[in-house]
Amino acid sequence: MEKTPLSPKLDAAFDQIDTARRGVIDRTALLHQAGRVLSAFGQETSTARGRETISLYGWYWDCLSAHAGVPSDGRMTREEFGAAFQAAFIDGEKFAAVYTPMALATIRLADSDNDGYLAPGELARLWQAIGSSVDDITGAFTAVDADGDGRLSVLEVLDAIRDYYTSEDPASPGNLLYRQAAPTA
């Protein structure tokens, strides 16, 4: 796959799933990521939120594997992941149908006070759970907080996610937020 400005972002997303650093990912690796998020917020896979999260991460994998042309129980290389992610969620129309519900379930888990918003501490815990740096989470949080109310709505987070994958402007809110999403060692 030809390197583009999007390539480092897709590489970072792959690395967050490939915590074993095998160079390939599969459904189990993605569900392991879901398990880390559940664990960080005290949810078991047997709870309603746990089952929803596992199911949506599985659906996300099914969409990616279909776009990569690999069986649902198969493995995907970094290049296959990047091409499938771009085809499904950036160039294609699956962001709203597949990626958004998965992100919403994850955000609901992180919303520990159930107020419908993410506070800076909740976002930091979420970033740690997915294996990301939280070095400047406050600055990133402020950039994404479009209305300046000190909390992130689901829409603000989803806008930042979409912005991250579509904007080449390093000062855009999504790029400031996800600059913190580089996998930790």
Looking at residue 180, its pLDDT comes to: 47
Range 96-103 contact pairs with CB under 8 angstroms and sequence separation of 24 or more:
98/59, 98/60, 98/63, 99/60, 99/161, 100/158, 101/56, 101/59, 102/56, 102/57, 102/59, 102/60, 103/157, 103/158, 103/161
Q: Which domains does the chain have, with CATH numbers?
A: 7-176 (1.10.238.10)
Looking at residue 182, its pLDDT comes to: 44
Those residues whose C-beta lies under 8 Å from the C-beta of residue 94, and which sit 6 or more positions away, are 63, 67, 88
**Mean of pLDDT values over 30-37:** 93
pTM: 0.86
Helix (H, G, I), strand (E, B) or coil at 180: coil
**Mean of pLDDT values over 101-118:** 89
Who wins on pLDDT, 24 or 168?
24
- Lowest average pLDDT, out of 59-73, 90-104, 116-130, goes to 90-104
For residue 181, pLDDT over 70 is answered with no
Average pLDDT value over all residues in the chain = 88
For residue 15, pLDDT over 90 is answered with yes
For residue 92, pLDDT over 80 is answered with no
Cα separation, 178 vs 172, in Å, equals 10
% of the chain surpassing 70 pLDDT? 94
**Mean of pLDDT values over 48-60:** 93
Who wins on pLDDT, 93 or 162?
162
**Contact yes or no for 1/160 (Cβ under 8 A):** no
Looking at residue 75, its pLDDT comes to: 98
**Mean of pLDDT values over 158-179:** 86
Here the tokens at position 161 are: 């996610």
